[in-house]
Amino acid sequence: MEFLVEYLTRAQEICDGMAHIPAELKDNLGKALELASGLDHYLEGMTSKESEQLAELNAETVSHDWDQAYKDGKTMFCLPKECITGHVEGQTLKMLVRMSKARRVLEVGMFTGYGALSMAEGLPQDGQLVACELEPYLKEFSQPFFDKSPHGKKITVKTGPAMDTLKDLADAGEQFDMVFIDADKNNYINYYNFILDNALLRLDGVICVDNSLFKGRVYLREVEDENAKALRRFNQFVCDDPRVEQVIVPLRDGLSIIRTIPSSPITDDVVFRGVGGASVLGRMRLDGKVAYVTGAGQGIGRGFAHALGEAGAKVAVVDIDEAKAKSVVEELTLKGIRSIPIVADISESEDVQRMVDTVVSTWGTIHIACNNAGINMNSASEDTTLSEWDKTFNVNLRGTFMCCQAAGRVMLKQGYGKIINTASMASLIVPHPQKQLSYNASKAGVVKLTQTLGTEWIDRGVNVNCISPGIVDTPLIHSESLRPLVQRWLSDVPAGRLAQVTDLQAALVYLACDASNYMTGHNLVIEGGQSLW
């Protein structure tokens, strides 16, 4: 629409200077200009407003002394208004990112960064945009505006020839959900072919190409402009390409939207497309999910809280020690993970119910219950007191049951939930040389509790599973009382080392996500092979 207004304005100026032009023609030309201008302003007004950071970037681009920068040899561009993505186009790109549920975007030709920031605003918090820009000066120009924006951290600018960057990305096996090309017009076909030939675009991904109408000049047969000729060749090349389907939207200077299509018959089923259109890794995301982790102030529970948060969940950090719970929440907050601390003793039924009520009142529901809190008290069986037995069972088994029941009621009501209990390798074997009767028996009970609930609740949408770690290398292991046992334990582990908390994180995320919907009542053992010897 902008180029139409520009042409009509020129035509009117020419006609006004020519006495022999009929008044009726001048009048009609004026009406056409008024209509085009009005429609252009209407589109601007009806489009969602740009963010404060985009408005500032636009204003600085327009007011910047590009002529001087050009004369100083800092940039090859002296007409920035020809380079910047406009307000309506920027919001269109942002909407395309959201509609296509893109997580990774590639931009070939960043210029002043308006298009990059617009698209970054449409990406999820963990989304990424890689921008190829030839000139370091333009990166320096745009970076302060990226830094001001909460979305700027999603943008990575790679300077240098775009084709070199594309080759590096292809060599690294990178793929993108959306590609935006707005660079040197003579290379559009080369960029386009390289992206498709090297699988830089994911299945069902979208390529958007700017300037594809080039002020309408691509249509003019006698045009001499080399950029217009290049774009005409590009448009025809894409139109004739059997690998894709294309539509050119007359938005601003023209925006081509291109989507790949299969070139040969395929078995178009869930294996090919993914369940719900999601890849295996996509199905392991926990975006929008609400989780709690008990015993999350340290050790395994802390690692579990980080894992669920990194996968996209909101996390309630539950611990009997308030300072430890708050410390983990601070860690998660630094990583952009929404979290809250909850102080609770899971051996107390009132605390368990308050924990569940707090999570539900804060975030509306519970999708993932990670019942991890536990204690271990060592003693020879003949010396084990009822007090020790009861205290161990009250936390490890009774507490886990109460958490399962309280969270399960919420999940059964909504018809969906994932419960993951922390059991132990001690449920399978008798670890030695330490003597821990009450711990071993309580963890065996956790496995049977898990199996029973897993079979009772699976047909109502709730999966219950457990993880049995081997001996995990936590600060407790290095205490003076346990240090002499470490070498003995190592000799019993085929893997030759103790487990790290991070060895357990992926298993938790799997059991917490939709990829494990058919698994229930399972005891997932992660012990470096120790239970096999």
Catalytically active residues are 439
Return the biggest CA–CA distance within the chain. 117
* CA–CA distance, 158 with 143 (Å, rounded to integer): 12
Residue 30 contacts residue 8 (beta carbons within 8 Å): no
Q: Which H/E stretch holds residue 91?
A: helix 87-99
Residue 419 contacts residue 371 (beta carbons within 8 Å): yes
Task: Write down how long the chain is.
Answer: 533
| Closest among 305, 300, 281 to 202, alpha carbons compared | 281
What residues contact 119, with CB distance under 8 A and at least 6 apart?
Answer: 93, 94, 97, 105, 107, 129, 178, 180
For the CA atoms of 262, 263, 268, 272, the dihedral, rounded to the nearest 10 degrees, stands at -70
- The token duo for 5 is 């207004």
Q: Give the Cα-Cα-Cα angle 133, 138, 144 (nearest 5 degrees).
A: 115
Residue 95 contacts residue 124 (beta carbons within 8 Å): no
End-to-end CA distance of the chain: 75
